[in-house]
């Protein structure tokens, strides 16, 4: 019997690129330092896009406009204590960044950085997330 897939919501922070297309902001994970997008567990009283916006603020220190419809989802294995892992499905909401804050809750735990969409896609591990990054126009 396989374990259930756990749902999370994620924000895909983007802005117009100075050259062409879109820039994507990635953040580092707290445990491994891998490049990821802000994401989190469902919250009581909040719908998916609201959770994504909250995670963007807490994890990346950004504010902006979150689209209310997800552009897709990706799956990943979340490492748990004791060597176990959970399979998570992350529904992804485009997040147009309006401002970057100097102070935010997880600023001492993560790095944030802008990348051209193609480079951002090459830095994340999950193939489904790579495709979502490249789909943002």
Give the single-character DSSP code of 13.
E
Give pLDDT tens digits along the chain (137 positions).
567 899 999 999 999 998 878 999 999 999 889 999 999 999 999 999 999 999 999 999 999 999 999 999 999 998 877 878 899 999 999 999 999 999 999 999 999 999 999 999 999 999 999 999 999 87
The predicted structure's pLDDT at residue 118: 94
Please give the pLDDT value at position 1: 54
Distances (CA, A) of 8 to 23, 35, 42: 23, 17, 6
Dihedrals φ, ψ of 128, to 5°? -65, -35
> Phi/psi zone of residue 120: left (φ > 0), alpha (ψ -120 to 50 degrees), beta?
alpha
| Angstrom distance (rounded) from CA 121 to CA 135 | 10
Model confidence pTM above 0.75: yes
Task: Return the structure tokens found at 96.
Answer: 């147009």
> CA-to-CA distance for 7 and 89, rounded, in angstroms?
5
| Number of CB atoms found within 10 A of residue 20's CB | 8
Which candidate, 60, 46, 66, 52, places its Cα nearest to that of 8? 52
73 Cβ neighbours under 8 A, 6+ residues apart: 89, 90, 91, 92, 128
């Amino acid at each position: 019997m396989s374990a259930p897939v756990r749902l999370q919501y994620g924000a895909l922070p983007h802005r117009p690129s100075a050259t062409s297309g879109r820039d994507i902001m990635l953040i580092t994970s707290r445990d491994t330092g891998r490049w990821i997008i802000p994401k989190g567990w469902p919250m009581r009283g909040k719908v998916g896009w609201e959770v994504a916006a909250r995670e963007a603020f807490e994890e990346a220190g950004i504010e902006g406009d979150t689209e209310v419809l997800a552009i897709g989802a990706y799956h990943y294995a979340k490492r748990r204590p004791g060597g176990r892992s959970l399979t998570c499905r992350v529904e992804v909401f485009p997040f147009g960044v309006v401002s970057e804050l100097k102070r935010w809750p997880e600023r001492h735990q993560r790095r944030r950085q802008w990348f051209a969409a193609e480079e951002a896609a090459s830095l994340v591990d999950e193939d489904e997330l790579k495709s979502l990054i490249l789909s943002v126009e």
